Amino acid sequence: IHNSIKEKFLARLQKEISKVPLCTPQELLEGGLEKTSGRLGPMISKKQFEKVTGMVDRAKASGFSLLCGGNSRTPGYYVEPTVFVDVPTDSEIWTEEVFGPVLCVRGFDTEDEALNEANNTRFGLAAAVMSGDPARCERVMRNFRCGIVWVNCSQPCFTQLPWGGVKRSGIGRDNGDAGFWSYLEPKQVVKYVTKKPFGWYSPRFEDSKL
């Protein structure tokens, strides 16, 4: 978040997070899809619960600035929405994929600084840019090193569009036309029709056909 609006943003973020209730799967089901927005269920398993709470506990033990949350609730595998601020960029909570309700917020002053921090990761599935400046959104979008970019939104998924990441987030794409390539076996066929001598590095044959 840009440092010029960082404090205002954090205050609003904390206020909105305080409205998010922890709900049982049954409560989520009874609430209906239209009422589940802004609710938070449990972790999917004990293993994932222990992974997330372990990362949060280690961040707290390291003395990182905790804006809100940071606690677990039992019975069940519930983790409060948790926000850390300005954690070191080499810390576990910043560099690893948490897959839990944990957010790390850092401030930046320049666009290049923000891009460098965003790209300084071995993962590259998705990223988002939020700005009222269309030109800035375009620049940042083009310079993100990832497979998916959201502009002034986050998480919308369309089955007709390719889905996949770069770097340690995988290769290949699912969904859309690109999703079929994993199930195909393309065959390259080159037919030599010229009378000129053949060579691996010969000049391009004007009368050749593929």
Number of domains into which the chain is organized: 2
CA distance linking residue 174 with residue 160, whole number of Å: 9
Q: Which of 133, 92, 99, 97 is nearest to 114 (CA)?
A: 133
CA distance linking residue 185 with residue 191, whole number of Å: 19
One domain for residues 1 and 85: yes
pLDDT at 56: 98
CATH classification at residue 73:
3.40.309.10
One domain for residues 96 and 164: no
| Beta carbons within 8 Å of 185's beta carbon, 6+ residues apart | none
Query: Does the pLDDT at position 119 exceed 90?
Result: yes
Cα atoms in the Cβ-side hemisphere of radius 13 Å centred on 91: 22
Query: Does the pLDDT at position 197 exceed 80?
Result: no
Residue 114 lies inside a defined structural domain of this protein: no
pLDDT at 206: 53
pLDDT at 37: 62
Residue 96 per-residue DSSP state: S
Element at 62 (helix H, strand E):
none
One domain for residues 26 and 103: yes
Residue with more model confidence, 209 or 31: 31
CA angle (45, 88, 155) in 5-degree steps: 50
CA distance linking residue 106 with residue 118, whole number of Å: 11
Q: What is the mean pLDDT of the chain?
A: 91
Q: Assign 103 a pLDDT band (cuts: 50, 70, 90).
A: very high
Helix/strand/coil (H, E, C) string of 101-155? CEEEECCECCHHHHHHHHHCCCCCCEEEECCCCHHHHHHHHHHCCCCEEEECCCC
| pLDDT tens digit sequence for 52-71 | 999 999 999 999 999 999 99
| pLDDT tens digit sequence for 127-177 | 999 999 999 999 999 999 999 999 999 999 899 999 999 999 988 899 999
Q: What residues make up the domain containing 201?
A: 121-210
Residue 3's SS3 state is coil
One domain for residues 131 and 102: no
Domain endpoint, select from 84, 107, 130: 107
Structure tokens at 96: 């690893």
Q: Assign 83 a pLDDT band (cuts: 50, 70, 90).
A: very high
One domain for residues 60 and 155: no
Residue 116 lies inside a defined structural domain of this protein: no
Structure tokens at 109: 């002053």
Domain endpoint, select from 59, 77, 107: 107
CB 82 within 8 A of CB 66: yes
Residue for token digits 């986050």? 154
Element at 73 (helix H, strand E):
strand 72-73
One domain for residues 51 and 147: no
